[in-house]
Every structure is written in structure tokens, then in C-alpha cells.
Amino acid sequence: MNHAESLTVSAHGEREIVIMRRFDAACADVFDAMTRAELLRSWLTGPPSWSVTECESDLCVGGRYRMEWQGADDAQMAMSGAYQEVAPPLRLVRTQTFEFGCEPQAGQQLETLVLTPVDDGAATELRLTVQYPSKEARDGALASGMEQGVAESYAGLDRALDEAK
């Protein structure tokens, strides 16, 4: 199955985006790849031709994370936040704010990641709900090309998970 085709990015309610995707890996492996700095560096590259220049993750309730990218012509982008709930390997809640380099600025979001085992635990269904501070911020994120960026990032996650097998 081509899991890139299983990606859905859709508006829900007034202020939410729900992202769904399947991965051929156990929940624990997907959770680790999405939270451990050394693994995030291997797949969360940002836009094409960008590279990760900083990646930190203190995975505990109240712990902070931060990622920064460098692109062509010295373009930069950074996001950071704090973990609100950490329940490996099935659930993670965190805040997220793009510090710079991402337009339109959407303010602080609240992300809830839920991983569900499927196929007797050999695969994982991801559901990421992102709540924005306003409908306008949510709609701006949807109009920004977010779906393409998510698709490219999750394709990188597929490659990283395959390499780890």
C-alpha cells in the first residue's frame, strides 16, 4: 500500500485541522521517531533543500522542544513548544508556535497526537489534531501549502522507519 496516498488533511469544527496517515511500523517506533531529537533530525527536514540546524526535545510533561531549519538564500524557520501530556507510545499533547519563517503566523497551537496499532501491532494509524487560536489562523495554515509539507515530511518518516528495521 502506498501510505502517502492515505494522508488526509482536513478542517474540523471552527479551529482544528486533523491529519491522518498510516505507517508500516509499530506505535513505539513511530512515537520515538516523532519525539527523539536524533531521530527527528533524520526525517523532519522541512521544505525541499532545507536542513535541520537545531533540534532539541526534553520529552516530559513541561519539557520543551525546539527545531530550526536553514534553507536557500539564508532563509530560516523555527518552531518550539512544550509537552503537556506524554503517554508513550500512544499519545502526546504539546503546544507549538512558529517563531519565525512561517507565514502566515498562526499563534500558538495545541497538537494532540494519537497513535493506534493496526495489523496486530505491525502498523500504526496516526491521528494528529491541531487546534488553532482562531478560524482565520486555521484557514491560513490550510492555505499555506501545509498538506504538501506534511506529505513530504511523512514520506521522510517512512524512509527513516524503513531504515531502522
What CATH number did the domain enclosing 15 receive? 3.30.530.20
Look-up of cell digits 505491525:
122
Look-up of cell digits 532563509:
75
User: How many independent structural domains does the chain possess?
Assistant: 1
Amino acid at 69: W
- Tell whether the model's pLDDT for residue 97 goes beyond 70: yes
Q: Which domain holds residue 40?
A: 3-164
For residue 2, the model assigns a pLDDT of 58
For residue 8, the model assigns a pLDDT of 96
For residue 11, the model assigns a pLDDT of 96
Better pLDDT: 88 or 41: 88
pLDDT band at 17 (very low <50, low <70, confident <90, very high): very high
Q: What percent of the chain is predicted at pLDDT more than 70?
A: 93
Average pLDDT, the chain: 90
pLDDT, tens digit (0-9, with 9 covering 90-100), for 118-161: 999 999 999 999 999 999 999 988 988 888 888 988 999 999 99
Query: Against a cut of 0.75, is the pTM above it?
Result: yes
Rounded to 10 deg, the angle between the 146-164 and 135-143 helix axes is: 70
Retrieve residue 30's grid coordinates.
Answer: 513511530
CA 41/CA 56 separation, integer angstroms: 10
